[in-house]
Structures are given as C-alpha cells and as structure tokens.
Amino acid sequence: MAPREILKIENLTTYFYTWAGVVKAVDGISLDVREGETLGLVGESGSGKSVTALSILRIVPMPGRIIGGKIIYKGENLLEKTEDEMQQIRGKEIAYISQDPATSLNPVFSIADQLTEVIRRHQNVTKEEALKKAIELFRLVEIADPEIKIWNYPHQLSGGMKQRIAIARALSCQPNLLLADEPTTNLDVTIQAQILELMKNLKKLGMSMILITHDMGVVAGVADRINVMYAGRVCEVASTKTIFRNPVHPYSRALLEAVSHVTVKRVQPKIIPGAIPNLISPPSGCRFHPRCDFAAAECAAVVPQLVEIEPEHYVACIRAKEFMENVKEVKL
C-alpha cells in the first residue's frame, strides 16, 4: 500500500501582479507530502519555494494571488475554505517557521505573551495552563532556564535562541504539517548544527514537514524526499538518496556540482552559466533551457511534464529517458 498523503498540491499557480508585469512565481507545480515524512524543497532564490509555502497557508502577500490549482489537505481543498476556516487551520494544523526569526517575533511583547497567544487561540486552556505549556515547549527546544527566559523580549535573545522560539511557537499546537522556510539560513554553522540536531529529534514526534532550503548540505541530513524547483516549476522529485546519487534533470546535476565541498579538496566547482531568468517573461518551453548544457531544439518549444522514469522518481525533462540510459554517478 502506498503511504498516505497528508498534503497534495495539484497544478498550483500563484502570480504577482506588479506594475512591471505579471511575475509567474509559481507556475503549475504539483507535489505531495506523505504522513510522517520530511520533504525537502530545494532551489535557488527566486525559484518559488517560499511562495509555495505561503500559498499553502493562503497568506501570499499583495500583489500576489493564487490563480488556480488545488491544495488538498486531508482530503479537503484549502483553496475552497473560508477565511474563518483557514484561521482554524493555520497554526493548529499547519504551522510555519519563517526565514528570519528576528522579524517573525513581535518586539513589543514578551516571549511568554507571544507563545501563550497561539496556545490560547487554538486550545481551550487558562492562562496559567498555557504558560505551563509554553515552558514545556522551551524544554523541548532545549532552551536553558525556561522560567526566566520566557519573560524576555526578542531583543534580549540571540539569533539562534529566537529561531528556537519560532520553532517552539510553531510546535505549540502539535501541528500535523510543519512548513520550515530556510530555518537555518541566518545562523552560524555551530548554531545551525544545534538547530538541525533539534529538527532531527522533532521528526520523532511523527509530524510531516516541508523543509525549504537552498543548502544541499542541510537537506541531505534531514529530508526523506527532495523536490527540486527551478523558476516556479518542479524539475525533479525523488528520494534524497536518488537525488544525490542519480540525479537525472540537468538542473539538479548542475546544482549538485556547483556546491563546493568541505570533504573534497579544491575541485573546481562546475558553473551554471547565466542567471535565474526573469519571471515576468520566463523562457518558453523548459525554463532551464537557456542555461542547460544539453538543451535540444525542442526544449524551447515543449513544456516538459513530470514523468515517472523509475519507481518514485519523477523528472520534468524531455531528454530524461536518454539521460537515464547513460547515468553516471555524480562524483561528490
């Protein structure tokens, strides 16, 4: 039996209507998250990772709008829900950790206020009980002296500490799905190591997670499956091991080869020529074709669809079959 899906996105399209033109930030992506798994969403900045997460919660900022598609969470389409129903889902069912912990906390309220607010909003508890719960959460995310720290204001805490609190707040109502948007990007490596260790432990709580990141090292350690995105579309979906061992899409390969490595000495990282395209007028056909080493004439004309080339391995590339036949292991 196939594992149950907790979230299924079909053909999600989110556009931003700016003065300069329509930015096609997310252009028809489909993905699914299974129960208890961590799905990594990987891509460079501007590839639509964060907009996907914001779309799931329906909090896309103006002038963005969700144009079409379906977001099916536990059998129900989130895009058909009313605003009131969405508020019941946000924070309780699906929680979000934003990229920048410093700006996601309100500077004029103490941490205790901000944590108990979420707990009291979704659970029928008294103030004292909420506070007790908040302190327990502090223990869960391994903050020392929770009884004292909880009365601090955000400016009294360091970046790593704020990120822990953001995680604690996201976990406060035991969500079924956690959207973590670059949770470690702004942190130093030693603090990043602490947070990643914490996230690994949280996986044991059994919730599903979408981990958004551009750091291949971070996904390698945490994610079960990976979704590679480029310019608003999904290029490749497979298990973490497959993506790292047998990537098929030229963009996934290029992305892996561009990563400079600590464990290997002074190898020239491969360059992806050019830059990410402008999403107001993206390239026709496959959006990666102007930067692709293997682009054929059709690549500019045909939009490639995600095709299952082997069990559990989907690729959106018209030459995928060809690449499959002569896959070389990517040398790491």
Partner 1 sequence: MSAEIILEVKNLVKHYPLTSRGIFLKKEVGVVHAVDNVSFSVRKGETFGLVGESGCGKTSTARAILYLDPPTSGEIYFEGQEIGRIFKSKNHQDLLKLRRKMQYVFQNPYASLDPRMTVADIIMEPFVIHKHVPKEKWHNRLYELLELVGLEEYHAERYPHEFSGGQRQRICIARALAVEPKLLIADEPVASLDVSVRAQILNLLQELQQKFGITYLYISHDLSTVRHICHRVAVMYLGKFVEIAETSELFNSPLHPYTQALLSAIPVPDPENKRSRIVLPGEVPSPINPPKGCRFHPRCIYAKKHNCVENVPELVDVGKGHWVACNKVKR
Which residues contact partner 1 (rule: CB under 8 A)? 44-45, 158, 160-161, 188-194, 196-197, 214-221, 240-241, 244, 254-256, 258-263, 265-272, 275-276, 332
Q: Residues with Cβ < 8 Å from 200, sequence gap 6 or more?
A: 221, 222
**Minimum distance, C-beta of residue 220 to partner 1, in the bound complex (Å):** 5
The answer to whether 329 and 246 are in contact (CB under 8 A) is yes
Query: For residues 12 and 150, which CB has a smaller minimum distance to partner 1 in the complex?
Result: 150
Q: How far is the CB of 266 from partner 1 (least distance, A)?
A: 6
Residue placing its CB nearer to partner 1 in the complex, 99 or 176 = 99
Three-state secondary structure call for residue 153: coil
Smallest distance from the beta carbon of 85 to partner 1, in angstroms?
Answer: 37
- Which two tokens mark 98? 């934003």
Question: DSSP letter string over 175-228?
Answer: -SEEEEESTTTTS-HHHHHHHHHHHHHHGGG--EEEEEES-HHHHHHH-SEEEE
Q: Are strands 313-315 and 233-239 parallel, antiparallel or unpaired?
A: antiparallel
Q: Rounded to 5, what percent of the chain is helix, strand, coil? A: 35, 25, 40
Identify the bridge partners of residue 180 per DSSP, sorted by sequence position: 97, 211
CB-nearer residue toward partner 1: 176 or 242? 242
Residue 35 or 142 having the CB closest to partner 1: 142
At its nearest, how many Å lie between partner 1 and the CB of residue 210? 18
User: Which residue, chain included where needed, has tokens 């950790």?
Assistant: 97
Q: Exposure of 297 by Cβ count < 10 A (0-12 exposed, 13-18 middle, 19+ buried)?
A: exposed
Given the complex with partner 1, which of 73 and 251 has the nearer CB atom?
251
* Nearest residue (CB) to partner 1, 133 versus 225: 225
